[in-house]
Amino acid sequence: MRAVLAVASECAPLIKTGGLADVVGALPAALAPLGWGVRVLLPGYPAVLRALAQGGPAGATADGPDAVAREGALYDVVAREDDLYGGPARVLAARVGALDLLVLDAPHLFDRPGTPYLDAEGRDWADNDLRFAGLSWMAARIAAGAMEGWRPEVVHLHDWQAALAAVYAREMGARAGTLMTVHNIAFHGLAPGARRGALRLPEAGFHPGGYEFFGHVSALKAGLVWADRISTVSPTYAHELTSPDFGMGLDGVIRARADVLTGILNGVDTEVWDPATDPHIRPFRTARGKAANRARLLSAFGLEDGPGPLCIVVSRLTEQKGLDLLLEALPALTGRGGRLALLGTGERALENAWLSVAGRNRSVAVRIGYDETLAHRMFAGADAVLVPSRFEPCGLTQMYGLRYGAIPVVGMTGGLADTVIHASEAALRAGVATGLQVFPIDAHALAHALARLCDLHARPDIWARLQRNAMRSPVGWDASAPRYAALYDDLAAGA
């Protein structure tokens, strides 16, 4: 088995704030049959260390000569660092379920309340730059041989939190090839330019052709410039990133490296997200089996049934996700007897706006927060899932919808455009439609799509065909994992 080190700030099911965690958690299993063994380097947040202590979702094991028991957990201490940006650190190796983990145990960086990125008040940690520089530094040290008996041929860096590893690995003379995957270019990992010394970055790289971004350090830009190869999470998003409208100030960097850029569509874990075996729902194999779950969903949100479709939103509440547009377009759904159940958290103004609508409109129910079990039940019971994003690198929500027969209504952008076949008259006649795409992505077009959704829902024969098509859509890793394996092959050959 050939060796890959994946470096990420989150990984399902141990720690998750979004789709990044799902991808990092699912990709290793998809790559194993292709000859690539992936070890995931993850920060030692309290939740991750608790998972080790409790045996993880499916058991944690380690059996090397340095195996240590702490609070009932077994792990190997496989690397140490005396001063990792302000304190000592260890790398702990353990297997949790199907995941081969390396956990960066650095309490001064990661042992704190809140989310991986925010404190308990919802504010960015002031030292996020140092925290994830520490993760990147240890990744580079492992690539350079810090672990006895194991050295990766490829280091796969996910988003800005891991991006500085491309610089550090080059500086340390590591031979591994580096792949930088952009899950969302909107997040750069910026730090004041004066902190470049504290971040242990080479002074010679602080210029517009290096990691400098308008006087700041940009961790993501560093990864884009220093990595051997770049990938994004859908073919359409790869193209979009070369334009000023989507490149978030880094489109010039992307265009300059277009020869090493690849767009590879994400997949979902089809074992975790399987309506026939999902332990959180009443299992079903065809859309006819959704009825019991639909009734359960209505009850859970306190909604009365109506003649229109039962729609869901499971999302971060942000402007990117277009949920302000949905507020404006909502009468096109509820005015036709549609219902909406929303689960999400995010910008306070949007949270309050949605709570206000739910207080006035008995066709709308809102839960602020996130609940993984409830999310499964929502997809199982919904007629449709609404994803009106202004931009979406890949998106997994629409794939969960397809898998569970919840018809996606999506903005025509990024991976949403790559995964949903629009129910045009031609696609309906050909029998291939799986959802609705919104373009342009504005409130007027979204209202038209919601009205169209209601029209299709009112025609049982067409609706049943849409659901059958949706549930047969390929949303797993079967096509994408071989593309990653091919990238790894090229990187290892050139390292």
Known binding-site positions for ADP-alpha-D-glucose? 16
Neighbours of 2 (CB within 10 A): 16
Q: Are 166 and 478 in contact (CB under 8 A)?
A: no
First-last CA distance in the chain: 17
SS3 state at 299: helix
Query: Closest Cα partner for 376 from 265, 234, 489, 271?
Result: 271
Angstrom distance (rounded) from CA 385 to CA 387: 7
Sequence-distant (6+) residues with CB within 8 A of 341 are 297, 300, 301, 303, 310, 311, 312, 313, 365, 366, 367, 378, 382
CA atoms within 13 A on the CB side of 181: 26
Please report where in the chains the tokens 């979009």 appear, as a residue: 240
Which residues fall in the annotated binding site? 16
Angstrom distance (rounded) from CA 138 to CA 25: 20
CA atoms within 13 A on the CB side of 244: 0
Q: Are 423 and 408 in contact (CB under 8 A)?
A: no
Q: What is the dihedral of CA 425, 395, 461, 453, to 10 degrees?
A: -70
Look at phi and psi of residue 443 and say left if phi exceeds 0, alpha if psi is from -120 to 50, else beta. Answer: alpha
Angstrom distance (rounded) from CA 327 to CA 91: 46
Query: Count of residues for the chain?
Result: 495
User: What does R_g of the chain's alpha carbons equal in angstroms?
Assistant: 23
Angstrom distance (rounded) from CA 281 to CA 292: 9
